Chains A and B, each alone.
Chain A
Amino acid sequence: MMAWETVIGLEIHSQLATKSKIFSGASTTYGAEPNTQACAVDLGLPGVLPVLNEEVVRMAAMFGLATHSTVAPRSVFARKNYFYPDLPKGYQISQFELPIVHDGYLDIELEDGSSKRIGITRAHLEEDAGKSLHENFMGKTGIDLNRAGTPLLEIVSEPDMRSAKEAVAYMKKIHSLVRYLGISDGNMQEGSFRCDANVSIRPLGQDEFGTRAEIKNINSFRFVEQAINYEVERQIMVLEGGGEVVQETRLFDADRHETRSMRSKEEANDYRYFPDPDLLPVELDEAYIAAVRESLPEMPDAKND
């Protein structure tokens, strides 16, 4: 029987702990009555324009410096275009070609006590969408836009993890870091900290990556471990049964402990990214970055040294 190696990369969405939204003055407080914390900008009314909340820039820069990353002197917001009822403008404002943070790393501790370096490809700022509510509407769908426009930092790792345990260790490390920096409350029940896992397998010793599946929206450490382990087993069964893993997006069903196909690569959206003409590029000079560096608390890793 062939030995398989697991390859995992994580995209972690960490809600930033600002008082107001990323592009409007509406409050980000969790748990309010539906649609009471959505202003004209969040509703995407005709004529409204986004204005960047500078606090999110500072928080992203803190994260970048704390992960040995480059904080980009110039980053650009881009529109990710797709239709969905809880996406009011028909596009999500995100960053695409020029993210605010890139090329860093974080060291995690493995069970045997050794440490392993996980690369951070990039971290970019974006707005969250609203929520679709499918219950209690007599077969219809309700939309709550309180969450629309909540600031997120999407942290994308390199495919450097080789087991579900490593993935969990990395996710926990990021979780404690954002809380330590005070840039996120990390509340996983409320969805302020969640991740997508890119999982593939390859014969041990092969350099090329296998075809990956992306498991969306996992919101607990336990589920990350379960989802990855299930997915790895599934892919091994597919390959050993003579089949091929298809590139697709999958959902983790926490009740059944399994992942299910959501959409294939062919069904994937063409997001038609382009720079958002309503927002200026974010330009950070050395003095700004130095001031953020000064404001960083002493890092736990540094303390251990």
Chain B
Amino acid sequence: MHQKSLVELAADLRSGACSSEELTRACLQRIAEHDGRLNSFITVTESQALAAAQAADAALRSGKAGPLTGIPFAHKDIFCTNGVKTSCGSRMLDNFIAPYDATVTEKLHEAGAVMIGKTNMDEFAMGSSNETSFYGPVKNPWNDTTVPGGSSGGSAAAVAAGLVPASTGTDTGGSIRQPAALCGITGLKPTYGRVSRYGMIAFASSLDQAGPFTRSAEDAAIMLGAMAGFDPRDSTSVDRPVDDYRAQLNEPLQGLRIGLPGEYFGEGLEAGVGDAVSAAIEEFRKLGATVTDITLPNTHLSVPAYYVVAPAECSSNLSRFDGVRFGHRAENPQDLTDLYTRSRGEGFGDEVKRRILVGTYALSAGYYDAYYLKAQQVRHLIRDDFMQAFRQVDIIMGPTAPSVAFKLGEKADDPVGMYLSDIYTIAVNLAGLPAMSVPAGFSNAMPVGLHLVGNYFEESRLLNAGHQYQQVTDWHTRTPQGFE
């Protein structure tokens, strides 16, 4: 059961080969067996999941079921879930029971999907290895001495290990695509504005976007179809119809124009990763795509611009965690300043504090123009690079991450080294484009991700390309040892 795709499980539910309750119990069993080792869940919502599964079974019997009805999945612990702890991986929110549902939570619930728990993540989504979580690091199912990537590491590891067929994540600078690559699964970051941010705890508001983790592009199409859509509660969500992603999966790739940016294949790229990506691109050529070298000349500015914009926005977004209304509150504060400084000092971890400090500095009087404004100008340059490229090509491809999963602790004391693991993914967030990572082979026995970047609202094209690639390759069906 745990090796089946979401599509296969949906067929089983429809045919009566299994019930949602059986499926849900099987997932709970897998979590009980394996998650002690992986640490991918912060909260398992067993009783709510079983109740939801029974409701789904009733819907299935009455013929009112959609493609997600009865499918168990996990939410990254950044989405507010009514009545359930929503920690954001932080001690600050260890005691926070969300009193409302995020729009994404609501939509998946309405689609009949069964939430089985909340997954581990870097604290407030700040990290690329899942090591900044208050709840301890997540282990990569392919090798438990390595990281699963981050910040959505728990969601990626849980799908890779077959604990759930699908999960949600958020991507501010690569937090869906990089862990998808490192764990050997499919992960999609939609166009900024495609999925509502309401109820998703903000890290960097102008960059954050939610998306799915699945075992295949086809499954991702189904998940995205349920998650996407205009939301009047999010002013940055875009009022535009949602494509029927699944209906467009089978378009032939004949004539698809692929662009390879020279900047993504240079120094710093692990040889084995480069080889796997080249082999994947060869497969696309065989499928009828044409491949062109392109250039994204401002790529080198993306990491510096990101590490101004994201911390600046986070420094303001995280001000609400002050110990006054919810979250961690210092004991016996002497006065207001003591309440603030100790509540925040105790509640936040080092990486979060680092980014709040950097962001506060970048917005300070006298520095705003030199940092924040300059970084916003760089965003325009980066966006223009992509727009220029999309006049020539349909999809930009490259490696998702410069290396396979690195060792736990290897970059924990090297923030800049850690930041560079998102070097290929960050520009996409700065431009607000959709992008996806699909499994594309192995390097040193660890999974490699192929990164596909599309033009605005062209999620369909990415999913179509990913699906066609997955029809002629089987990397996405591989299972880590010990989780067969």
B-binding residues in A (CB < 8 A): 40, 43-52, 79, 81, 83, 85, 88-91, 143, 270, 272-274, 277-280
Question: Are the C-beta atoms of A45 and B100 separated by less than 8 Å?
Answer: yes
User: Which of B41-49, B130-138, B261-269, B357-365 forms contacts with chain A?
Assistant: B357-365
Question: Are the C-beta atoms of A47 and B236 separated by less than 8 Å?
Answer: no
Question: Are the C-beta atoms of B206 and A46 separated by less than 8 Å?
Answer: no
Q: Is B319 an interface residue (CB 8 A)?
A: yes
| Shortest CB distance A151–B (Å) | 16
Q: Is B422 an interface residue (CB 8 A)?
A: no
Q: Is B202 an interface residue (CB 8 A)?
A: yes
Given contacts A49-B198, A49-B233, A280-B236, contact A44 B316 (CB under 8 A): no
Question: Are the C-beta atoms of B313 and A277 separated by less than 8 Å?
Answer: yes
Question: Are the C-beta atoms of B96 and A46 separated by less than 8 Å?
Answer: yes
| Shortest CB distance A140–B (Å) | 11
| Shortest CB distance B347–A (Å) | 12
| Shortest CB distance B86–A (Å) | 7
Given contacts A45-B99, A48-B199, A91-B319, contact A272 B236 (CB under 8 A): no
Question: Are the C-beta atoms of B316 and A90 separated by less than 8 Å?
Answer: yes
Distance between Cα atoms of A277 and B201 in the complex (Å): 14
* B residues in contact with A272, CB < 8 Å: 315-316, 360, 363-365, 368
Query: Which residue of chain A has the shortest Cβ distance to B359 in the bound complex?
Result: A272
Q: Is B98 an interface residue (CB 8 A)?
A: yes
Query: Which residue of chain A has the shortest Cβ distance to B100 in the bound complex?
Result: A40
Question: Are the C-beta atoms of A49 and B235 separated by less than 8 Å?
Answer: yes
Q: Is B102 an interface residue (CB 8 A)?
A: yes
User: Which of B245-253, B320-328, B453-461, B473-481 forms contacts with chain A?
Assistant: B320-328
Query: Which residue of chain A has the shortest Cβ distance to B313 in the bound complex?
Result: A277
Given contacts A44-B325, A274-B363, A277-B236, contact A83 B80 (CB under 8 A): no
Q: Is B312 an interface residue (CB 8 A)?
A: yes
Q: Is B234 an interface residue (CB 8 A)?
A: yes
Distance between Cα atoms of A85 and B325 in the complex (Å): 9
What 0/1 pattern do residues 22 to 61 of B give for CB contact below 8 A with A? 0000000000000000000000000000000000000000
Given contacts A47-B200, A83-B319, A88-B325, contact A280 B93 (CB under 8 A): no
| Shortest CB distance B256–A (Å) | 34
Distance between Cα atoms of A270 and B364 in the complex (Å): 7
Question: Are the C-beta atoms of A277 and B199 separated by less than 8 Å?
Answer: no
Distance between Cα atoms of A40 and B201 in the complex (Å): 13
Q: Is B230 an interface residue (CB 8 A)?
A: no
Distance between Cα atoms of A43 and B321 in the complex (Å): 12
Question: Are the C-beta atoms of A46 and B80 separated by less than 8 Å?
Answer: yes
Can you list 25 A-B pairs with a CB-CB distance of less than 8 A?
A40-B99, A44-B325, A45-B80, A46-B96, A46-B202, A47-B79, A47-B98, A47-B102, A48-B199, A49-B198, A52-B235, A83-B322, A83-B340, A85-B322, A88-B320, A89-B320, A90-B318, A90-B322, A91-B316, A270-B365, A272-B360, A274-B316, A277-B236, A278-B202, A279-B235
Distance between Cα atoms of A81 and B362 in the complex (Å): 13
Classify the secondary structure of B's interface with A: loop
Question: Are the C-beta atoms of A278 and B99 separated by less than 8 Å?
Answer: no
Q: Is B288 an interface residue (CB 8 A)?
A: no
Query: Which residue of chain B has the shortest Cβ distance to A280 in the bound complex?
Result: B235
* A residues in contact with B312, CB < 8 Å: 274
Distance between Cα atoms of A46 and B205 in the complex (Å): 12
* B residues in contact with A91, CB < 8 Å: 316, 319
Distance between Cα atoms of A134 and B199 in the complex (Å): 33
Query: Which residue of chain A has the shortest Cβ distance to B309 in the bound complex?
Result: A277
* A residues in contact with B383, CB < 8 Å: none
Q: Is B297 an interface residue (CB 8 A)?
A: no
Q: Is B336 an interface residue (CB 8 A)?
A: yes
Question: Are the C-beta atoms of B319 and A48 separated by less than 8 Å?
Answer: no
Distance between Cα atoms of A143 and B232 in the complex (Å): 29
| Shortest CB distance B137–A (Å) | 23
Distance between Cα atoms of A49 and B197 in the complex (Å): 8
Distance between Cα atoms of A44 and B96 in the complex (Å): 14
Distance between Cα atoms of A177 and B431 in the complex (Å): 45
Given contacts A90-B316, A143-B324, A280-B236, contact A46 B201 (CB under 8 A): yes
Q: Which of B201, B318, B327, B364 contacts A47 (CB 8 A)?
A: B201
* B residues in contact with A81, CB < 8 Å: 315-316, 319, 363
Q: Which of B204, B235, B336, B372 contacts A50 (CB 8 A)?
A: B235
Query: Which residue of chain B has the shortest Cβ distance to A43 in the bound complex?
Result: B325
Query: Which residue of chain B has the shortest Cβ distance to A278 in the bound complex?
Result: B205
Q: Is B181 an interface residue (CB 8 A)?
A: no
Question: Are the C-beta atoms of A47 and B234 separated by less than 8 Å?
Answer: no
Residue of A49, A79, A81, A280 with most chain B CB atoms under a 10 A cut-off: A49
Distance between Cα atoms of A280 and B234 in the complex (Å): 10
**Of residues 201 to 257 in B, which have CB atoms within 8 Å of A's CB atoms?**
201-202, 204-206, 232-236
**Of residues 56 to 93 in B, which have CB atoms within 8 Å of A's CB atoms?**
79-80, 86, 88, 93
* B residues in contact with A52, CB < 8 Å: 235
| Shortest CB distance A135–B (Å) | 17
* A residues in contact with B368, CB < 8 Å: 272-274
| Shortest CB distance B470–A (Å) | 33
Question: Are the C-beta atoms of A89 and B96 separated by less than 8 Å?
Answer: no
Question: Are the C-beta atoms of A90 and B372 separated by less than 8 Å?
Answer: no
